[in-house]
A and B are shown apart, each in its own frame.
Chain A
Amino acid sequence: MFSIQYLIAFLVGGAICAVAQLVLDTTKCTPAHVLVATVSIGAIMQGLGLYEPFQDFAGAGALVPVSGFGSSITKGMLAEAKRLGWYGLFTGAFEITGLGLVAAIVFSSVISLFRKPLK
């Protein structure tokens, strides 16, 4: 069941990573700088209403890079602010991203019980 959506996800996701790598190699930015920039760009694009159509087009190619994480933070805040008023800005941060954050903490804790770093 091949669809063009897989190719788009590959190209767009790959392009985001390639740009990040180029910035890493050609500037003095550390990986932390690049990741923070990527997540912030996602959050800002969501606020401008740009990330939603981008994600409709690129699917996982826009969702899986950390820019998708940033856009989800803004998206959750805006949705909750609409629903609850000003304190939705505070509760909304983890509306969508909470699942990923909790997943990362739970899975990592369990794995660290059984595995040690190789190096």
Chain B
Amino acid sequence: MRPQEYKQLVQQNTPPRPIVRNTVWAFLVGGLICTVGQVILDISRIFEPSKTGSAAVTLAVMILIGALLTGFGVYDEIAELAGAGAAVPITGFANTVTAAAMEYRREGYLQGMGSKMLIIAGPVIVYGILSGFIVALIKSLILGVL
């Protein structure tokens, strides 16, 4: 069989991705997680009136929730259904860190957990910082802050 024919055969027999269903689930679950975040944000405003402070507290609580649900194996079930709806919220960030920590702990605390905990979250941190740095540098130069 020629590679081209093989490619065609694979294409014919691959089930089509249920794009609409995936998107709807991502929307519902992602929206629900953000609604939970809004509840926590409203509560944290009572204790932490500053905008930055209440935002930081909310993110920490969401991360705790994501980490706990991952520990109990619930988050992976949610992620299977919701895809990006579970991955894009900050709870998904916590999920990748906790899942990696649990997975690699058996390889040791230093070489395993320590070095591989951020194996999935790493790109988000690195490119978040890089793009933030470039933007902040340009803006500071334009505004004449530096």
Contact = CB atoms under 8 A, between A and B. Distances in A.
Given A18-B23, A101-B125, A64 B37 contact: yes
Given A34-B84, A82-B145, A92-B136, A65 B26 contact: no
B55 A17 contact: no
Interface residues of B, number: 82
A112 B102 contact: yes
B34 interface: yes
B78 interface: no
Interface string A63-81: 1111011101110011001
A21 B146 contact: no
A16 B70 CA distance: 22
Interface in B49-104: 52, 55-60, 62-64, 67-68, 70-73, 76, 82-85, 87-94, 97-103
Nearest to A14: B31
Indicate the size class of the contact surface on chain A.
35 or more
Contacts of B82: 17
20 contacts: A13-B33, A18-B24, A20-B26, A20-B84, A20-B87, A21-B83, A21-B84, A34-B87, A39-B127, A40-B127, A40-B128, A61-B31, A69-B128, A72-B55, A77-B136, A78-B145, A104-B98, A108-B101, A109-B113, A119-B76
Interface of A: 5-6, 9-18, 20-22, 24-26, 31-32, 34-36, 38-40, 42-44, 46-48, 59-61, 63-66, 68-70, 72-74, 77-78, 81-82, 85-86, 89, 92-93, 96-97, 99-101, 103-105, 107-109, 111-119
